[in-house]
Amino acid sequence: MAGKRETQKEQRREAILNAALDLFSKKGFDLTTVEDITREARVAKGTFYNFFLKKEDVLLYFLDREFAKSRAEIARKMPRTPGISEKIELLIATYIKYIFPNKEFSSVLIRERVMNLGTGSNRNEMSLVHELAGLFDEAKGRGEIRSDVASDHLAEMVFAIYTMYVIYWTNGLIKTKKQCIERIREISMLMLQGVARSRA
């Protein structure tokens, strides 16, 4: 019986999440109310508050879930991925695949989350920076890049490139998600050439 209750609870949370994401994409985050979400999800307003304190928490829940999926896929593929440029591409492409499902919702997410960068509320985005820094540390150990360049600074640069090109995609300057990933890879490669360890 407890299993059935848990299943029903999860179904209600998913209904709220899907309704919220759909409304955020169509109406925008600011214009969507909790009442809009509960009406679309066909649940009582109190049901919403059983899961989320406010509509911002719906975005955080979505991000937590999708980052977890991303990390699981990255963990499976990373050991078979050779150099630093390929590892960065895997990391970025996988996060974009899960976090930015379509242009409309991505535009909402970018506006809402980018404005909070540096505030401490973007735990998932900051974990991406830490993961990138770890990749650069490993690349130094393999002799791929110079050891005198700060890994956290390189990670911040790649994160800035990633953020900029996702914004370009949501604004229409870049037409497809695939092109977005390709541009991030190209610019990251140029950056890596500047810090590559000399073989002379």
Quick one: pLDDT at residue 76?
A: 96
Residue 9 CB neighbour total at 10 angstroms: 13
Phi and psi torsions of 145, nearest 5°: -130, 165
Does residue 184 fall inside a structural domain?
A: yes
Residue 84 CB neighbour total at 10 angstroms: 23
Quick one: pLDDT at residue 4?
A: 80
Domain of 29 in residue numbering reads as 1-52
Q: Domain with 12 in it: what CATH number?
A: 1.10.10.60
pLDDT (tens digit per residue) in 122-142: 677 788 899 999 999 999 999
Quick one: pLDDT at residue 52?
A: 94
Which residues have C-beta within 8 Å of that of residue 163, sequence separation ≥ 6?
110, 114, 117
Quick one: pLDDT at residue 125?
A: 79
| One domain for residues 70 and 161 | yes
Torsion on CA atoms 105, 68, 90, 134, rounded to nearest 10: 120
Bridge partner list, 196? 145
Q: Give the chain's domain count.
A: 2
| One domain for residues 102 and 20 | no
Bridge partner list, 145? 196
Quick one: pLDDT at residue 123?
A: 74
Give the chain's residues under pLDDT 70.
Answer: 1-2, 114-122, 198-200
